[in-house]
Amino acid sequence: MSTSTGIAQPVAEIKIDDCWRQIGVRGDRSCALLDQHLHCRNCPAYKKIARSLLDRATPSAYPTGWPDKPSRAELDSADEEALQTAVLFRLGEEWLALPVAIFHEVAESRRVHSLPHRRNGAVLGIANVRGELLICVSLSELLGIDERKEAEQGKRAKAFRRLVVVGELDKRVAFTVDEIHGLHRYREHDTLAVPATIGKALSAATVAVLPWRGRAVGCLDPGQLLTMLDRSIA
């Protein structure tokens, strides 16, 4: 049912085991299944809870509880504050973000077979991803990111390496990242201008900087990055 202001009253709460807020990606990340599933959304337990919420009985008064149709001004304001979703990952000591829409897969790191007669240092070779041979590039080389400092820190980060597949459906490419955080949602006004101190190659593909957990995450332009990838493998 609704109040005189048109705001819907909440549906009776269902007690659930919100493990993702305790030991999952929104908690202390101590869940033993995170290494296998990478993110709580891929976990069978999370999907089971979601299904139970969708299958719950609908209260008889539920249809009358919807709020009044928002005004045009409210819709315009909502568009301006629309949430953007990106995947955050690390190369060396640099944290970067790409829109989730260009991602096809995040897989375990695997062997890359070198290609003969390739002079472009950004092209590492080909990798087998679910039976498909994809060109694998060094995004660090392409963006001018120095990974030597990461190597000096030992094997701590190497255990988290993942193979990422991005691009268009008929033109996909793979690259390896040292660590992947997962999905992150933010609003445009949360971002900052790109500083003039970053490298030329990285600045050419970076459109904004996102403050996150005390770090500066470079928000990459997907179109510019895919163009750079195309040129590297041409």
Q: Reduced to 3 states, what is the DSSP secondary structure of residue 180?
A: strand
Where along the chain do the CATH 2.40.50.180 domains lie? 84-233
Q: Which of these, 96, 105, 101, lies nearest to 134 by C-alpha position?
A: 105
Q: Which of these, 3, 210, 234, lies nearest to 98 by C-alpha position?
A: 210
Distances, alpha carbon 116 to alpha carbons 125, 126, 127, 176, in Å: 9, 11, 14, 20
Residue 204 neighbours by CB under 8 Å, 6+ apart:
224, 228
Q: Are strands 94-99 and 215-220 parallel, antiparallel or unpaired?
A: parallel
Q: Please tell me the CATH superfamily of domain 84-233, with its number.
A: CheA-289, Domain 4 (2.40.50.180)
The confidence score (pLDDT) of residue 197 equals: 80
pLDDT, tens digit (0-9, with 9 covering 90-100), for 153-173: 554 545 578 999 999 888 899
Question: Does the model's pTM come out above 0.75?
Answer: no
Q: Reduced to 3 states, what is the DSSP secondary structure of residue 81?
A: coil
Distances, alpha carbon 96 to alpha carbons 18, 42, 81, 117, 139, in Å: 29, 22, 22, 31, 11
| Regions of the chain where pLDDT drops below 50 | 1-12, 155, 157
Beta carbons within 10 angstroms of residue 149's beta carbon: 10
pLDDT, tens digit (0-9, with 9 covering 90-100), for 188-219: 899 999 988 887 788 889 999 999 999 999 99
